[in-house]
Amino acid sequence: MTNKRKFDPATRRAGETLASSTYASLRRDIIDGAIPAGSQLRVRHLGERYGVGFSPIREALNRLARDGLVRQVDLRGFTVTPLNRAELEEITRTRCWLNELALRKSIERGDAAWEEGIVIAFHRLSRISVSAPVNGSEGDSNAISRFNPENDTAHRAFHASLISACGSSWLLGFCEQMFDQSDRYRRLAKPSVRQGRQHDEHRLIMEATIARDVDKAVDLMNRHLLRTAELGYMALGEAMSPAQAVAAAMSSLEAVPAER
């Protein structure tokens, strides 16, 4: 009954460190935008917010720096990697290049198991894409771009499955990193907007890939990624009015509505 062990603050699975669970929470909050881009990440405030000490926070922030989601400067702490058009342009460019490369190699080398993996990933994405938007269990429909773990996982898994046979776990990791970066911009757009043609695009990419039509698959993929980036551009134009930009730059974590 005395579940009040010192290193066990409720939200922790077996064999997982506080640093890992805090990393997951922080990552979620950053990608989702709950912690605004550009804001300072102060160790003390974060510790208070997530209910842990300095060490796990620092560890988590280091891992986020690994993902490129936060930046670190000696003696000046951590900052959420800012969002702007120049960055989005570079991220999109890089993402297209790397995905084209990985997709070509993957289609070259992929076997039957690889094809089946794509089909399964697409199927799971289909199921969740339609059921997720009606998620009214929490009644937080006012939250515009609320994070949806299932949908996120399925979307990520589908994109990963396409290139999973490329023959380089390094390249896969780089592509996933660019996916994360890109996803931060995509989440700026309202779900209603971004839900639009994405699913059809995914289906076409899958079909061309499995048909081993390399050039068509690559072309569809590039268009898909560019269209995704468009969502980010539009959202940046709308959402980042000067006032909000300043607010994002200045606001620290205490300005964020606390959600546990």
Partner DNA sequence: CGACGAAAAATGTTCGAACATTCCGTATTC
Partner DNA sequence: GAATACGGAATGTTCGAACATTTTTCGTCG
Binding site for DNA (CB under 7 A): 5-9, 15, 17-19, 40-45, 52-56, 58-59, 72, 74-78, 252
Angle value at C-alpha 127, between 124 and 128, nearest 5 degrees: 90
Structure tokens at 199: 């699913």
The size of the interface with a second copy (CB under 8 A), counted in residues, is 29
Q: Could you tell me the smallest distance in angstroms from the CB atom of residue 5 to a second copy? A: 15
Residues 6+ apart with CB under 8 A from 235: 185, 188, 189
Position among 11, 79, 94, 195 found at the interface with a second copy (CB under 8 A): 94
7 binds, among DNA, a second copy, none (CB under 5 to 8 A by kind): DNA
Touching a second copy, residues 17-56 (CB under 8 A): 17, 20, 55
Q: Could you tell me the smallest distance in angstroms from the CB atom of residue 13 to a second copy? A: 10
Q: How many CB atoms lie within 10 A of CB 211?
A: 11
- Taking CB under 8 A as the binding criterion, the range among 2-10, 90-98, 112-120, 206-214 that sits at the site for a second copy is 90-98
If the CB atoms of residues 3 and 141 are measured against DNA, the closer one turns out to be 3
Q: How many CB atoms lie within 10 A of CB 155?
A: 21
Q: Among 99, 70, 64, which Cα is nearest to 223's? A: 99
Q: Could you tell me the smallest distance in angstroms from the CB atom of residue 87 to DNA? A: 22
The per-residue b/e assignment along 171-186, b for 16 or more CB within 10 angstroms, e otherwise, is bbebbebbbbbbbbbb
30 binds, among a second copy, DNA, none (CB under 5 to 8 A by kind): none
Position among 101, 132, 160, 239 found at the interface with a second copy (CB under 8 A): 101
Give yes or no for residue 169 binding a second copy (CB under 8 A): yes
Q: Could you tell me the smallest distance in angstroms from the CB atom of residue 208 to a second copy? A: 22
252 binds, among a second copy, DNA, none (CB under 5 to 8 A by kind): DNA
